[in-house]
Amino acid sequence: MKTFYLRHKGLHRWLLANAAVLLLFFLLRSRRSAMLALARHVTLPLQRAAAALCSLVPFSVAELCYVLLVAGGAVFLVRSFLRIHRAEHKGRAAYRRALALVNVALSLYAAFCLLWGTNYYIDDFCDQSGIEPAPVAFDDLVRVTDYFAHALSACADDVPRNGDGTFAVPRRDILDAATEVYGPLYADFPFLRIPEYAPKPMFFSRVMSALNFTGFYFPYTGEANVNMDCPAATLPATVAHELAHRRGIASEQQCNFIAILACTRCDDAAYRYAGWLSGYIHLSNALYRVSPDHWRQLRDTLPEGVLADLHASSEYWAQFNGAAAAVSNKVYDGMLKSYGDTLGMQSYGAVVDLLVAYYLPQT
């Protein structure tokens, strides 16, 4: 056994280091004070430094990392096959290459746990703001959905539209305005203030759509990345959502709520419209599940431009209903639950509780 260990000493030490980091993380994740210290003094500062560095280039470094990972993986597999085929001791060669691959995967996973998984065990937006979701009464859901429908209708003409009535703000303009979106929230929520960097457009956005992703935050580089292929009317809310993740907020439902809040308070017409639209979609979907009649009554009050945007969004995403999207959702759902987000993908719908709790007093 000792001889076997020493023959691949470097790889075995790497494996033990990975195991030690992961074991330490899973042992300490229930201790909030330890996770807070790690996030505040190590992981969040590292991500913000990486974000500042990556902001110097116009393309997504995260996307480049994915491309290099796929290309590197393909090269590694080909070289491994050739080396194993030529090796005198094929079992040893296969073991060494397999162990190297396992170590790379474990190192990436360990880094992800530290850089992102930590955020699931620290004070979240609700803890810091005092805004808590609560069970929603049907009448309250109707009132808040009606409130969003009226606000959405009121600002529908504030944005330019195409000949078919759909939202026509250039996507590049949306990204350029992103750094100003959170400004109106700082007075009420000072913990959201961080150095701002524009989100990165993804070149392979069509692939993201096939996987049912509108955007993602990449903790290794601190970049917010957005899908540039999906309907433009929903892009501002996606941008605000990913920028919420940059602030160390892990919960999907809280990031959706923060994005809607930031957009509806924003001076930019495109973001303001998208915020009311996003909130209406979440609320009306919840309303439809309990009362299609009330849902239909409110939907009939919306102007043609809003209906055109809703229809365009539904048509766009319908084309990607397939195995790839289903597998992607399943994997992401499992990842959320592995960090204690017991709602999994349902947490996107749970934003309704926060919207009703916050906006009900304003109706």
Q: In whole angstroms, what separates CA 268 from the centre of its chain? A: 22
Residue that the structure tokens 């580089």 belong to:
221
Length of the chain: 363
**pLDDT at residue 27, as a whole number:** 95
Q: Look over the chain and give the mean of its residue pLDDT values, rounded to a whole number.
A: 91
Cα gap 290→147, rounded to integer Å = 18
Looking at residue 345, what is its pLDDT? 37
Given a cut of 90, whether residue 191 has pLDDT beyond it is: yes
The pair of structure tokens assigned to 335 is: 């990842």
**Residue (of 75, 77, 96, 129) closest to 8 by Cα position:** 96
Average pLDDT, integer, range 41-53: 97
Instruction: State pLDDT tens for residues 112-124.
Output: 999 999 999 999 9
Task: Give residue 350's pLDDT band: very low, low, confident or very high (50, 70, 90).
Answer: confident
Whether the model clears a pTM of 0.75, i.e. scores above it, the answer is: yes
pLDDT tens for 94-111 read 999 999 999 999 999 999
Query: Is pLDDT above 60 for 343?
Result: no
Q: What is the pLDDT of residue 346?
A: 38
Looking at the DSSP assignment, which residues form a beta bridge with residue 216? 225
Cβ atoms 278, 237 nearer than 8 A: yes
How high is the pLDDT of residue 205? 95
Cβ contact 268:182 at 8 Å: no
Provide the pLDDT for residue 157.
Answer: 95
Distance, C-alpha 285 to centroid of its chain: 20
What is the domain partition of the chain in residue ranges? 2-121, 126-362
Tell me: pLDDT of 4 over 90: no
Per-residue model confidence as pLDDT tens digits over 235-285: 999 999 999 999 999 999 999 999 999 999 999 999 999 999 999 999 999
29 contacts 35 by C-beta, under 8 angstroms: yes
